[in-house]
Structure 1
Amino acid sequence: MNDAQPQYLSASYVEETRFGFWFLRSHTWQHHVLRVAINDLRRLFDKEPPANPVLLDAGCGQGKSFQYLRQVFAPRRLIGLDADPHSLRLSSEEAARQGLQVELIGSDCATLDVADASVDLLFCHQTFHHLVEQEKALAEFYRVLKPGGYLLFAESTEAYIDTWVIRWLFRHPMHVQKSAAQYLEMIRRQGFEFTPRNVSYPYLWWSRAKDFGLLERFGLRRPKPFGQREETLVNVVACKPLHEGAAG
Protein backbone atom coordinates (compact mmCIF):
# COMPACT_ATOMS: atom_id res chain seq x y z
CA MET A 1 0.00 0.00 0.00
CA ASN A 2 1.13 3.54 -0.65
CA ASP A 3 2.34 5.73 2.18
CA ALA A 4 -0.04 8.47 1.07
CA GLN A 5 -3.35 8.48 2.92
CA PRO A 6 -5.89 6.52 0.83
CA GLN A 7 -9.19 8.17 -0.01
CA TYR A 8 -11.73 5.49 0.86
CA LEU A 9 -15.27 5.63 -0.49
CA SER A 10 -16.85 4.94 2.89
CA ALA A 11 -16.74 7.21 5.92
CA SER A 12 -16.74 4.16 8.20
CA TYR A 13 -14.10 2.16 6.32
CA VAL A 14 -11.72 0.25 8.60
CA GLU A 15 -8.30 0.15 6.95
CA GLU A 16 -6.67 -3.28 6.76
CA THR A 17 -3.16 -3.94 8.09
CA ARG A 18 -0.25 -4.33 5.69
CA PHE A 19 -0.12 -8.02 6.53
CA GLY A 20 -3.84 -8.38 5.88
CA PHE A 21 -3.58 -6.63 2.52
CA TRP A 22 -0.72 -8.93 1.53
CA PHE A 23 -2.56 -12.03 2.74
CA LEU A 24 -5.61 -11.24 0.60
CA ARG A 25 -3.56 -11.80 -2.53
CA SER A 26 -1.74 -14.91 -1.32
CA HIS A 27 -2.12 -18.45 -2.69
CA THR A 28 -3.46 -19.55 0.71
CA TRP A 29 -6.28 -17.03 0.49
CA GLN A 30 -7.15 -17.93 -3.07
CA HIS A 31 -6.89 -21.71 -2.90
CA HIS A 32 -7.83 -22.55 0.69
CA VAL A 33 -10.35 -19.79 1.42
CA LEU A 34 -11.98 -18.30 -1.69
CA ARG A 35 -12.10 -21.44 -3.82
CA VAL A 36 -13.39 -23.59 -0.96
CA ALA A 37 -16.08 -21.08 0.04
CA ILE A 38 -17.40 -20.65 -3.51
CA ASN A 39 -17.61 -24.40 -4.05
CA ASP A 40 -19.41 -24.80 -0.73
CA LEU A 41 -21.90 -22.05 -1.56
CA ARG A 42 -22.66 -23.73 -4.88
CA ARG A 43 -23.46 -26.94 -3.01
CA LEU A 44 -25.99 -25.16 -0.79
CA PHE A 45 -28.44 -24.35 -3.59
CA ASP A 46 -31.70 -26.31 -3.54
CA LYS A 47 -31.91 -26.11 -7.32
CA GLU A 48 -29.79 -24.94 -10.19
CA PRO A 49 -28.70 -21.31 -9.74
CA PRO A 50 -29.81 -18.78 -12.36
CA ALA A 51 -28.23 -19.38 -15.76
CA ASN A 52 -26.06 -16.61 -17.20
CA PRO A 53 -26.59 -14.45 -14.12
CA VAL A 54 -25.73 -10.89 -13.32
CA LEU A 55 -23.35 -11.48 -10.42
CA LEU A 56 -22.23 -8.80 -7.98
CA ASP A 57 -19.17 -9.38 -5.81
CA ALA A 58 -19.79 -7.00 -2.89
CA GLY A 59 -16.41 -6.27 -1.37
CA CYS A 60 -14.39 -7.75 -4.21
CA GLY A 61 -11.07 -6.62 -2.73
CA GLN A 62 -8.24 -7.40 -5.11
CA GLY A 63 -10.37 -9.47 -7.49
CA LYS A 64 -9.03 -12.90 -6.60
CA SER A 65 -12.57 -14.30 -6.55
CA PHE A 66 -13.31 -13.45 -10.18
CA GLN A 67 -11.81 -16.59 -11.74
CA TYR A 68 -13.66 -18.91 -9.34
CA LEU A 69 -16.98 -17.11 -9.76
CA ARG A 70 -16.63 -17.44 -13.52
CA GLN A 71 -15.83 -21.16 -13.29
CA VAL A 72 -18.71 -21.99 -10.95
CA PHE A 73 -21.51 -19.61 -11.97
CA ALA A 74 -20.60 -18.53 -15.55
CA PRO A 75 -22.03 -15.01 -15.21
CA ARG A 76 -22.96 -13.07 -18.33
CA ARG A 77 -22.18 -9.91 -16.38
CA LEU A 78 -19.74 -9.77 -13.49
CA ILE A 79 -19.61 -6.70 -11.26
CA GLY A 80 -16.96 -6.06 -8.62
CA LEU A 81 -17.61 -3.47 -5.94
CA ASP A 82 -15.32 -2.12 -3.24
CA ALA A 83 -14.81 1.01 -1.18
CA ASP A 84 -11.01 0.99 -1.52
CA PRO A 85 -9.78 2.59 -4.79
CA HIS A 86 -6.40 0.86 -4.49
CA SER A 87 -8.06 -2.55 -4.26
CA LEU A 88 -10.20 -1.68 -7.28
CA ARG A 89 -7.07 -0.90 -9.30
CA LEU A 90 -5.67 -4.30 -8.36
CA SER A 91 -9.01 -5.90 -9.26
CA SER A 92 -8.78 -4.32 -12.70
CA GLU A 93 -5.30 -5.77 -13.16
CA GLU A 94 -6.48 -9.19 -11.96
CA ALA A 95 -9.41 -9.17 -14.39
CA ALA A 96 -7.04 -8.32 -17.24
CA ARG A 97 -4.71 -11.18 -16.25
CA GLN A 98 -7.63 -13.59 -16.25
CA GLY A 99 -9.01 -12.26 -19.55
CA LEU A 100 -12.29 -11.32 -17.86
CA GLN A 101 -14.75 -8.53 -18.51
CA VAL A 102 -15.55 -7.14 -15.07
CA GLU A 103 -17.42 -3.94 -14.29
CA LEU A 104 -15.79 -2.28 -11.31
CA ILE A 105 -17.69 0.12 -9.04
CA GLY A 106 -16.29 2.22 -6.22
CA SER A 107 -19.00 2.20 -3.60
CA ASP A 108 -19.82 1.66 0.05
CA CYS A 109 -21.83 -1.52 0.69
CA ALA A 110 -24.22 0.53 2.83
CA THR A 111 -25.06 2.75 -0.16
CA LEU A 112 -24.62 0.51 -3.20
CA ASP A 113 -24.29 2.34 -6.49
CA VAL A 114 -26.32 -0.40 -8.19
CA ALA A 115 -29.87 -0.29 -9.61
CA ASP A 116 -32.85 -1.84 -7.84
CA ALA A 117 -33.64 -5.48 -8.68
CA SER A 118 -30.77 -5.74 -11.17
CA VAL A 119 -28.68 -8.61 -9.73
CA ASP A 120 -29.29 -12.38 -9.82
CA LEU A 121 -26.49 -13.43 -7.45
CA LEU A 122 -24.81 -11.31 -4.79
CA PHE A 123 -21.58 -12.78 -3.45
CA CYS A 124 -20.46 -11.43 -0.08
CA HIS A 125 -17.43 -13.37 1.13
CA GLN A 126 -15.48 -12.38 4.26
CA THR A 127 -16.63 -8.80 3.75
CA PHE A 128 -19.52 -8.37 6.15
CA HIS A 129 -17.43 -8.49 9.32
CA HIS A 130 -15.49 -5.50 7.98
CA LEU A 131 -18.65 -3.39 7.65
CA VAL A 132 -19.77 -1.02 10.37
CA GLU A 133 -23.24 -0.31 8.94
CA GLN A 134 -24.26 -3.94 8.60
CA GLU A 135 -28.04 -3.48 8.71
CA LYS A 136 -27.89 -0.86 5.98
CA ALA A 137 -25.63 -3.04 3.85
CA LEU A 138 -27.95 -6.03 4.14
CA ALA A 139 -30.92 -3.85 3.18
CA GLU A 140 -28.95 -2.69 0.14
CA PHE A 141 -28.17 -6.30 -0.79
CA TYR A 142 -31.89 -7.04 -0.64
CA ARG A 143 -32.72 -3.98 -2.73
CA VAL A 144 -30.39 -4.71 -5.64
CA LEU A 145 -31.30 -8.40 -5.90
CA LYS A 146 -34.07 -9.41 -8.25
CA PRO A 147 -37.06 -11.22 -6.73
CA GLY A 148 -35.94 -14.85 -6.70
CA GLY A 149 -32.28 -13.78 -6.63
CA TYR A 150 -29.78 -15.16 -4.15
CA LEU A 151 -27.46 -13.80 -1.49
CA LEU A 152 -24.28 -15.93 -1.23
CA PHE A 153 -23.04 -15.08 2.23
CA ALA A 154 -19.84 -16.52 3.72
CA GLU A 155 -18.48 -15.12 6.98
CA SER A 156 -16.15 -15.63 9.89
CA THR A 157 -17.87 -15.23 13.24
CA GLU A 158 -16.99 -13.34 16.40
CA ALA A 159 -15.55 -16.54 17.89
CA TYR A 160 -12.81 -16.38 15.27
CA ILE A 161 -12.41 -12.62 14.75
CA ASP A 162 -12.10 -11.92 18.48
CA THR A 163 -8.94 -13.98 19.04
CA TRP A 164 -5.51 -12.61 19.83
CA VAL A 165 -3.96 -13.88 16.59
CA ILE A 166 -6.57 -12.32 14.32
CA ARG A 167 -6.71 -9.09 16.30
CA TRP A 168 -2.92 -8.86 16.08
CA LEU A 169 -2.62 -9.58 12.35
CA PHE A 170 -5.76 -7.94 10.98
CA ARG A 171 -8.02 -4.98 11.71
CA HIS A 172 -11.80 -5.15 12.17
CA PRO A 173 -14.60 -3.12 13.77
CA MET A 174 -14.93 -5.31 16.86
CA HIS A 175 -18.22 -3.84 18.12
CA VAL A 176 -20.20 -5.28 15.18
CA GLN A 177 -18.92 -8.86 15.21
CA LYS A 178 -21.60 -11.56 15.50
CA SER A 179 -22.11 -15.27 16.07
CA ALA A 180 -23.28 -17.59 13.31
CA ALA A 181 -26.80 -17.58 14.77
CA GLN A 182 -26.87 -13.77 14.91
CA TYR A 183 -25.81 -13.47 11.25
CA LEU A 184 -28.49 -15.92 10.17
CA GLU A 185 -31.14 -14.12 12.22
CA MET A 186 -30.12 -10.79 10.66
CA ILE A 187 -30.42 -12.22 7.16
CA ARG A 188 -33.82 -13.79 7.91
CA ARG A 189 -35.08 -10.59 9.54
CA GLN A 190 -34.22 -8.62 6.40
CA GLY A 191 -36.66 -10.85 4.51
CA PHE A 192 -34.40 -13.46 2.91
CA GLU A 193 -35.56 -17.07 2.93
CA PHE A 194 -33.45 -20.16 3.60
CA THR A 195 -33.67 -23.52 5.34
CA PRO A 196 -31.05 -25.52 7.27
CA ARG A 197 -30.29 -27.25 3.95
CA ASN A 198 -28.99 -23.91 2.64
CA VAL A 199 -26.60 -23.34 5.56
CA SER A 200 -23.20 -24.83 6.37
CA TYR A 201 -20.75 -24.37 9.21
CA PRO A 202 -17.33 -25.15 7.70
CA TYR A 203 -14.78 -26.33 10.22
CA LEU A 204 -11.63 -25.67 8.22
CA TRP A 205 -8.10 -25.90 9.55
CA TRP A 206 -7.40 -22.18 9.15
CA SER A 207 -10.55 -21.17 11.04
CA ARG A 208 -9.71 -22.75 14.40
CA ALA A 209 -10.14 -20.02 16.95
CA LYS A 210 -6.95 -20.58 18.94
CA ASP A 211 -4.26 -22.33 16.91
CA PHE A 212 -5.32 -22.39 13.22
CA GLY A 213 -5.86 -26.15 13.64
CA LEU A 214 -2.17 -26.92 14.01
CA LEU A 215 -2.71 -29.34 16.89
CA GLU A 216 -5.27 -31.27 14.86
CA ARG A 217 -3.10 -31.26 11.74
CA PHE A 218 -0.30 -32.87 13.75
CA GLY A 219 -2.66 -35.37 15.37
CA LEU A 220 -2.29 -33.88 18.84
CA ARG A 221 -5.99 -33.10 19.27
CA ARG A 222 -9.21 -34.47 17.84
CA PRO A 223 -11.52 -31.97 16.13
CA LYS A 224 -14.70 -31.17 18.03
CA PRO A 225 -17.89 -32.47 16.39
CA PHE A 226 -20.73 -30.23 15.27
CA GLY A 227 -22.85 -29.14 18.22
CA GLN A 228 -19.92 -29.26 20.64
CA ARG A 229 -17.99 -26.29 19.30
CA GLU A 230 -18.51 -22.59 18.84
CA GLU A 231 -18.82 -22.06 15.10
CA THR A 232 -16.13 -19.91 13.50
CA LEU A 233 -17.58 -19.89 9.97
CA VAL A 234 -21.07 -19.73 8.51
CA ASN A 235 -22.10 -19.98 4.85
CA VAL A 236 -25.66 -19.49 3.62
CA VAL A 237 -27.44 -19.25 0.27
CA ALA A 238 -30.51 -17.09 0.98
CA CYS A 239 -33.25 -16.23 -1.54
CA LYS A 240 -35.07 -12.95 -1.95
CA PRO A 241 -38.75 -13.96 -2.16
CA LEU A 242 -40.54 -13.65 -5.47
CA HIS A 243 -43.24 -11.63 -3.73
CA GLU A 244 -42.00 -8.48 -2.01
CA GLY A 245 -44.67 -8.73 0.67
CA ALA A 246 -42.73 -11.59 2.22
CA ALA A 247 -39.95 -9.25 3.31
CA GLY A 248 -39.71 -8.24 6.97
Structure 2
Amino acid sequence: MTYASPNYVEETRIGFHFLRSHTWQHHVLRVAINDLKRLIGEPLPQGGTLLDAGCGQGKSFRLLRDAFQPLHLVGLDADPHSVELARAEAAQEGLSIQLHSADCAQMPLPDRSVDIVFCHQTFHHLVEQERALAEFWRVLKPGGWLLFAESTKAYIDTWVIRWFFRHPMEVQKSAEEYLEMLRGQGFEFESRNVSFPYLWWSRSKDFGLLERWGLRAPPPPGQREETLVNVAARKPLA
Protein backbone atom coordinates (compact mmCIF):
# COMPACT_ATOMS: atom_id res chain seq x y z
CA MET A 1 0.00 0.00 0.00
CA THR A 2 1.18 3.53 -0.79
CA TYR A 3 0.90 5.92 2.15
CA ALA A 4 0.60 9.70 1.89
CA SER A 5 3.61 10.22 4.14
CA PRO A 6 7.06 8.89 3.12
CA ASN A 7 7.85 8.38 6.82
CA TYR A 8 4.67 6.51 7.72
CA VAL A 9 5.17 3.64 10.16
CA GLU A 10 2.66 0.96 9.23
CA GLU A 11 0.41 -0.14 12.09
CA THR A 12 0.14 -3.77 13.12
CA ARG A 13 -2.94 -5.76 12.20
CA ILE A 14 -3.93 -5.83 15.88
CA GLY A 15 -3.50 -2.06 16.13
CA PHE A 16 -5.54 -1.42 13.00
CA HIS A 17 -8.46 -3.49 14.30
CA PHE A 18 -8.22 -1.93 17.77
CA LEU A 19 -8.87 1.49 16.22
CA ARG A 20 -12.33 0.36 15.10
CA SER A 21 -13.27 -1.18 18.46
CA HIS A 22 -15.82 -0.11 21.07
CA THR A 23 -12.96 0.25 23.57
CA TRP A 24 -11.24 2.80 21.33
CA GLN A 25 -14.38 4.82 20.67
CA HIS A 26 -15.90 4.70 24.16
CA HIS A 27 -12.96 4.50 26.57
CA VAL A 28 -10.37 6.48 24.61
CA LEU A 29 -11.93 8.91 22.10
CA ARG A 30 -15.07 9.81 24.06
CA VAL A 31 -13.13 10.34 27.29
CA ALA A 32 -10.50 12.50 25.57
CA ILE A 33 -13.07 14.72 23.85
CA ASN A 34 -14.97 15.23 27.09
CA ASP A 35 -11.75 16.18 28.86
CA LEU A 36 -10.75 18.61 26.09
CA LYS A 37 -14.19 20.24 26.33
CA ARG A 38 -13.57 20.73 30.06
CA LEU A 39 -10.14 22.25 29.35
CA ILE A 40 -11.64 24.75 26.90
CA GLY A 41 -14.33 25.83 29.34
CA GLU A 42 -17.56 27.63 28.53
CA PRO A 43 -18.69 28.64 26.03
CA LEU A 44 -17.46 25.90 23.73
CA PRO A 45 -16.56 26.97 20.20
CA GLN A 46 -19.38 26.11 17.81
CA GLY A 47 -19.70 26.13 14.04
CA GLY A 48 -16.87 26.93 11.64
CA THR A 49 -14.48 24.34 10.24
CA LEU A 50 -13.10 21.48 12.32
CA LEU A 51 -10.11 19.43 11.13
CA ASP A 52 -9.52 15.94 12.53
CA ALA A 53 -5.77 15.56 11.88
CA GLY A 54 -5.03 11.85 11.85
CA CYS A 55 -8.69 10.87 11.72
CA GLY A 56 -8.00 7.16 11.34
CA GLN A 57 -11.18 5.24 10.60
CA GLY A 58 -13.51 8.11 11.51
CA LYS A 59 -14.72 6.92 14.90
CA SER A 60 -14.35 10.47 16.23
CA PHE A 61 -16.64 12.14 13.68
CA ARG A 62 -19.97 11.73 15.49
CA LEU A 63 -18.44 12.71 18.83
CA LEU A 64 -16.87 15.85 17.35
CA ARG A 65 -20.10 16.81 15.59
CA ASP A 66 -22.08 16.47 18.80
CA ALA A 67 -19.53 18.45 20.82
CA PHE A 68 -18.77 21.36 18.47
CA GLN A 69 -21.48 21.39 15.77
CA PRO A 70 -19.04 22.37 13.00
CA LEU A 71 -20.42 23.72 9.76
CA HIS A 72 -17.62 21.91 7.92
CA LEU A 73 -15.87 18.74 9.07
CA VAL A 74 -12.54 17.77 7.51
CA GLY A 75 -10.66 14.52 8.08
CA LEU A 76 -7.07 13.78 7.12
CA ASP A 77 -4.96 10.63 7.43
CA ALA A 78 -1.85 9.25 5.76
CA ASP A 79 -3.31 5.74 5.43
CA PRO A 80 -5.64 5.52 2.38
CA HIS A 81 -7.33 2.38 3.74
CA SER A 82 -8.23 4.22 6.93
CA VAL A 83 -9.57 7.13 4.87
CA GLU A 84 -11.89 4.79 2.96
CA LEU A 85 -13.16 3.31 6.23
CA ALA A 86 -13.62 6.86 7.56
CA ARG A 87 -15.68 7.67 4.47
CA ALA A 88 -17.92 4.68 5.18
CA GLU A 89 -18.20 5.70 8.85
CA ALA A 90 -19.28 9.23 7.85
CA ALA A 91 -21.90 7.84 5.48
CA GLN A 92 -23.24 5.54 8.17
CA GLU A 93 -23.53 8.50 10.57
CA GLY A 94 -25.14 10.70 7.92
CA LEU A 95 -22.25 13.19 8.01
CA SER A 96 -20.99 15.38 5.21
CA ILE A 97 -17.21 15.42 5.47
CA GLN A 98 -14.25 16.39 3.32
CA LEU A 99 -11.61 13.65 3.49
CA HIS A 100 -7.95 13.75 2.46
CA SER A 101 -5.34 11.03 2.23
CA ALA A 102 -2.45 13.31 3.16
CA ASP A 103 0.51 13.93 5.43
CA CYS A 104 0.05 16.10 8.53
CA ALA A 105 3.43 17.64 7.68
CA GLN A 106 2.08 18.85 4.31
CA MET A 107 -1.67 19.39 4.42
CA PRO A 108 -3.72 20.33 1.32
CA LEU A 109 -5.62 23.07 3.14
CA PRO A 110 -5.52 26.86 2.74
CA ASP A 111 -3.90 29.17 5.29
CA ARG A 112 -6.17 30.31 8.12
CA SER A 113 -9.05 28.11 6.99
CA VAL A 114 -9.72 26.06 10.13
CA ASP A 115 -11.31 27.02 13.46
CA ILE A 116 -10.44 23.85 15.43
CA VAL A 117 -7.70 21.28 14.87
CA PHE A 118 -8.40 18.04 16.73
CA CYS A 119 -5.21 16.00 17.07
CA HIS A 120 -5.90 12.90 19.15
CA GLN A 121 -3.29 10.15 19.59
CA THR A 122 -1.73 11.18 16.27
CA PHE A 123 1.51 12.94 17.14
CA HIS A 124 3.35 9.89 18.47
CA HIS A 125 2.87 8.34 15.00
CA LEU A 126 4.48 11.31 13.19
CA VAL A 127 8.18 11.48 12.37
CA GLU A 128 8.12 15.13 11.25
CA GLN A 129 6.42 16.49 14.34
CA GLU A 130 7.76 20.05 14.10
CA ARG A 131 6.59 20.37 10.49
CA ALA A 132 3.17 18.97 11.39
CA LEU A 133 2.79 21.45 14.24
CA ALA A 134 3.79 24.29 11.90
CA GLU A 135 1.08 23.09 9.51
CA PHE A 136 -1.51 23.14 12.30
CA TRP A 137 -0.45 26.73 13.01
CA ARG A 138 -0.66 27.65 9.32
CA VAL A 139 -4.18 26.32 8.71
CA LEU A 140 -5.65 27.63 11.97
CA LYS A 141 -7.36 30.99 12.01
CA PRO A 142 -6.14 33.51 14.61
CA GLY A 143 -7.94 32.65 17.82
CA GLY A 144 -8.47 29.07 16.65
CA TRP A 145 -8.11 26.06 18.95
CA LEU A 146 -5.68 23.17 18.83
CA LEU A 147 -7.12 20.26 20.82
CA PHE A 148 -4.11 18.07 21.48
CA ALA A 149 -4.30 14.70 23.22
CA GLU A 150 -1.25 12.44 23.32
CA SER A 151 0.37 9.41 24.84
CA THR A 152 3.88 10.06 26.10
CA LYS A 153 7.14 8.16 25.75
CA ALA A 154 6.57 6.66 29.20
CA TYR A 155 3.60 4.80 27.75
CA ILE A 156 4.68 4.18 24.15
CA ASP A 157 8.06 2.79 25.22
CA THR A 158 6.68 -0.13 27.24
CA TRP A 159 6.70 -3.82 26.43
CA VAL A 160 2.90 -4.01 26.06
CA ILE A 161 2.73 -1.24 23.47
CA ARG A 162 5.92 -2.30 21.68
CA TRP A 163 4.56 -5.84 21.44
CA PHE A 164 1.17 -5.01 19.94
CA PHE A 165 1.72 -1.71 18.08
CA ARG A 166 4.32 0.05 15.92
CA HIS A 167 5.61 3.60 16.37
CA PRO A 168 8.65 5.70 15.39
CA MET A 169 10.43 5.39 18.73
CA GLU A 170 13.06 8.05 18.02
CA VAL A 171 10.49 10.89 18.18
CA GLN A 172 8.61 9.95 21.36
CA LYS A 173 8.42 12.71 23.98
CA SER A 174 7.52 13.32 27.60
CA ALA A 175 4.47 15.35 28.58
CA GLU A 176 6.62 18.39 29.32
CA GLU A 177 8.45 18.06 26.01
CA TYR A 178 5.13 18.11 24.15
CA LEU A 179 4.07 21.19 26.10
CA GLU A 180 7.36 22.91 25.27
CA MET A 181 6.88 22.05 21.59
CA LEU A 182 3.45 23.70 21.60
CA ARG A 183 4.80 26.80 23.35
CA GLY A 184 7.72 26.97 20.94
CA GLN A 185 5.36 27.10 17.98
CA GLY A 186 3.54 30.01 19.61
CA PHE A 187 0.41 28.33 20.95
CA GLU A 188 -0.99 29.81 24.15
CA PHE A 189 -2.43 27.91 27.11
CA GLU A 190 -2.51 28.10 30.89
CA SER A 191 -2.36 25.37 33.53
CA ARG A 192 -6.18 25.20 33.53
CA ASN A 193 -6.01 24.22 29.84
CA VAL A 194 -3.77 21.20 30.53
CA SER A 195 -4.51 17.82 32.09
CA PHE A 196 -2.54 14.66 32.71
CA PRO A 197 -5.13 11.86 32.66
CA TYR A 198 -4.11 8.66 34.42
CA LEU A 199 -6.55 6.29 32.77
CA TRP A 200 -6.68 2.54 33.29
CA TRP A 201 -5.63 1.69 29.75
CA SER A 202 -2.52 3.88 30.05
CA ARG A 203 -1.11 1.81 32.95
CA SER A 204 1.11 -0.56 31.03
CA LYS A 205 2.09 -2.67 34.06
CA ASP A 206 -1.33 -3.62 35.43
CA PHE A 207 -3.96 -1.49 33.61
CA GLY A 208 -4.98 -0.07 37.00
CA LEU A 209 -6.16 -3.41 38.36
CA LEU A 210 -4.38 -3.07 41.71
CA GLU A 211 -6.06 0.29 42.29
CA ARG A 212 -9.50 -0.95 41.24
CA TRP A 213 -9.11 -3.89 43.63
CA GLY A 214 -8.15 -1.52 46.44
CA LEU A 215 -4.65 -2.95 46.78
CA ARG A 216 -2.82 0.26 45.91
CA ALA A 217 -3.57 3.98 45.83
CA PRO A 218 -2.85 5.75 42.55
CA PRO A 219 0.29 7.92 42.69
CA PRO A 220 -0.58 11.62 42.67
CA PRO A 221 0.54 14.03 39.93
CA GLY A 222 4.15 15.01 40.44
CA GLN A 223 5.00 11.59 41.83
CA ARG A 224 4.53 9.60 38.64
CA GLU A 225 5.79 9.65 35.09
CA GLU A 226 2.85 10.95 33.07
CA THR A 227 1.54 8.67 30.36
CA LEU A 228 -0.99 11.06 28.81
CA VAL A 229 -1.23 14.80 28.22
CA ASN A 230 -4.26 16.76 26.97
CA VAL A 231 -4.05 20.43 25.99
CA ALA A 232 -6.57 22.97 24.74
CA ALA A 233 -4.28 25.58 23.15
CA ARG A 234 -5.06 28.66 21.07
CA LYS A 235 -3.38 30.47 18.23
CA PRO A 236 -3.17 34.12 19.34
CA LEU A 237 -5.47 36.65 17.71
CA ALA A 238 -2.58 38.93 16.80
Instruction: Tell me the TM-score normalized by structure 2.
Output: 0.98
Q: How does 1:45-84 map to 2 (within 5 A)?
A: 45-84=40-79
Q: Contact (CA 8 Å) 1:159, 1:209: kept in 2 or not? A: no
3-state secondary structure, aligned to 2:8: coil
User: Contact (CA 8 Å) 1:53, 1:73: kept in 2 or not?
Assistant: no
Q: Kindly indicate whether residue 172 of structure 2 is the aligned counterpart of residue 177 of structure 1.
A: yes
- Among residues 104, 115, 123, which one is paired with 1:120 in the alignment? 115
Q: Which deviations, in whole Å up to 9, do the C-alpha atoms of 1:99-132 show, x marking residues without a partner?
A: 1111101110000111100000000000000000
1:149 to 138, 144, 148: 144
Gaps of 5+ in 1: 1-5, 244-248
Return the match for 1:100 from 95, 101, 116.
Answer: 95
Report deviation, 1:47.
4.2
Q: For 1:32-43, what aligned pairs fall within 5 Å after superposition? A: 32-43=27-38
Q: Which runs of 4+ in 1 moved over 4 A?
A: none
Which TM-score applies when normalising by structure 1?
Answer: 0.94
| Identity, % of aligned positions | 72
Q: Distance in 1 between matches of 2:137 and 2:213?
A: 43
Q: What's the counterpart of residue 210 of structure 2? A: 215
CA RMSD of aligned residues (A): 0.9
Deviation for aligned residue 1:176: 0.3
Q: Name which of 207, 217, 222 aligns with 1:227.
A: 222
Q: Which 5+ residue runs of structure 2 have no aligned equivalent?
A: none
What is the one-letter code of the residue matched to 1:166? Answer: I
Question: Can you list the C-alpha shifts for 1:121-166, whole angstroms capped at 9, x where unaligned?
Answer: 0000000000000000000000000000010000000000000000
Number of equivalences: 238
Give the Cα separation in 2 of the matches to 1:130 and 1:222.
32
Report the Cα offset of residue 49 of structure 1: 3.2
Given candidates 188, 192, 195, the residue that maps to 1:200 is 195
